[in-house]
Structure 1
Amino acid sequence: MLRLLGRRTSANVQKVTWLLTELGIAFQMEDVGGEFGGNRTPEYLRLNPNGVVPALIDADTSVWESNTILRYIANRFGPTHFYPSDPAARAACECWMDWQLGTLNLCMTPLYVGLVRTSPEDRDAEAIRRHHERASSLFGLIDDTLAERPFLAGEHLTLADICNAVFACRWFALCREERGVRPHLTRWFEAIEARRVFQDHVVMPLT
């Protein structure tokens, strides 16, 4: 059985538990990171030298970095529409996966830390305003894309949507006034939000 090391409140862990459940793949969850600790031990660092969660253990194979784990699962247990085999369709999916890591993360993570993990008296209001403005613009880009298709990479839910919907969930939880502002983003998110697996693995209190 696959072992997944991480904590269920981590956005990057949620991506993985969501996909595993969608594909009906059994896994054993082991609490690591955050309040559980254990992610800086020599044992864990041998599995994931970056010292963050998640790490996926498949027999003698250790995989880290959440989006790489998603690709590994799709390749290991596929083929699946979550990760298209056609080169052009796969590239469309991977563009949005890389965009989430390299662009959306750069404002959503500090916005989350500033609003959830920083006490009110220690918050940097200007930095929060700046990250909120940038995130709003980026979710506007998603909205523009979804005006032309039901999902980010085309007609079907893919890894592109899994990566970005986890952060859309946080965006709407942090900034409730944004809910419904962009019609295509809202339609896409509400369709994903209605999935039982999303409710079970992604919708939870922010910590």
Structure 2
Amino acid sequence: MAKTVTKSAGKSAVKVKPKAVAKPAAKTASAKPAAGKSAPKTAKAKPAKKPALKLSMLKPSVNNMAVRVFARAAGFDAAETDAWGHTRSPEYIARNPAHLTPMIEDKGLPRGVLWESCAIMQYLANKHGLEKFYPKAPAKRAMVDSAMFYLIGTLYPYVARATYPALGFPHYAGEVGHSDAHPDKKSEAQKAAMAAIAEPLEVFHSFFRDGKPFIGGKHPSIADIRLAATLEFLAVIDYALPKWAKEYMAAIEKKLGKAYAEPAGDVRGYIAYVRSQAKASA
């Protein structure tokens, strides 16, 4: 019985046919078409549509310049509206009671609008996943946030006090420049602010950059854009920027190209106009 089983098992094993070999795959599209037949047409990929952006802005302002640079560098299809002389209009204040620029309009926002340059850049970077401008990693993002908050809380007030008198911009309430103090006192306050700029400026160099090309690393972050724009105002008072700051600003402009140069040109043009007027009246 054992032999019979063995034999029949052996015979059946011999009779089992090997599995059919899979036929070769059909020729790929790169292969030559058969005679008389044309190759199938491949659909052309449509270029990605740029996100639309409605922006109300003032061209001479470095706060506005920061968002204008960012919008261009990030590839937005920005529709800019010059709000010069209109920020106190009933229509503008109805949407923006703070009457500030820059301001963007977006249906996704709870109130439909958003102002403050840093908040605008943060929002747009978050919404569109623009990590090269605003990293998602908590530690890296914290450094970008810290740099921006330090700028608007410490450096920018000094820059404003030092440059606003020359630019013809009104000082904030409570500032010596806004008061009825003697011109000598106002000049003294302006010089003190100018002298104070060096310390926070060095903090950006030694702490936030820390040997990197930019605060954001190899690519300018939204903090870099905001800092470079702020430093543009210092030209109106002939502030002697340290060598690293000049190289830093030049590197950002080179990296971002026209995205930086075009809005910067408006600020520089205004500064040149202000200086020419000062010379004419001297």
TM range (shorter): 0.7 to 0.9
SS at match of 1:51: coil
Question: 2:251 aligned with 1:191, yes or no?
Answer: yes
Contact 1:111 / 1:132 at 8 angstroms: preserved in 2?
yes
1:28-53 CA distance string (max 9 Å, x none) = 11111xxx311112321232221111
5 Å-filtered alignment, 1:1-207, equals: 1-32=52-83, 36-59=84-107, 61-117=112-168, 124-145=186-207, 146-171=209-234, 173-176=235-238, 178-179=240-241, 182-194=242-254, 195-203=257-265, 204-205=268-269, 206=271
Distance change >3 Å, CA 177–CA 40, structure 1 → 2: closer
Q: Secondary structure at the match of 2:245?
A: helix
CA distances 1:19-72 after superposition (whole Å, capped 9, x unpaired): 11001110111111xxx3111123212322211111100236211111101111
The structure with higher relative contact order (CA 8 Å, sep 6+) is 1
Is the contact made by 1:79 and 1:85 (CA closer than 8 Å) also made in structure 2?
Answer: no
| Distance in 2 separating the partners of 1:183 and 1:11 | 21
**Unaligned runs of at least 5 residues, structure 1:** none
Q: Which amino acid aligns with 2:107?
A: A
CA RMSD of aligned residues (A): 2.1
Instruction: Name stretches of at least 5 consecutive residues in structure 2 with no aligned partner.
Output: 1-51, 170-181, 275-282
Q: CA offsets per residue over residues 81-120 of structure 1, 9 Å max, x none?
A: 10001111111111111111111121111212122217xx
Larger radius of gyration: 2
**What is the CA deviation profile of residues 101-150 of structure 1, one whole-angstrom value per residue up to 9, with x for unaligned ones?**
111121111212122217xx957220111010011222222232345221
Extract structure 1 runs of 4+ deviating beyond 3 A.
Answer: none
Aligned length: 199
Cα distance in 1, alignment partners of residues 263 and 131 from structure 2? 20
- Structure 2 CA distance for aligned equivalents of residues 136 and 199 of structure 1: 25
Partners of 2:217 and 2:253 in 1: how far apart? 18
TM-score, structure 2 as length reference: 0.65
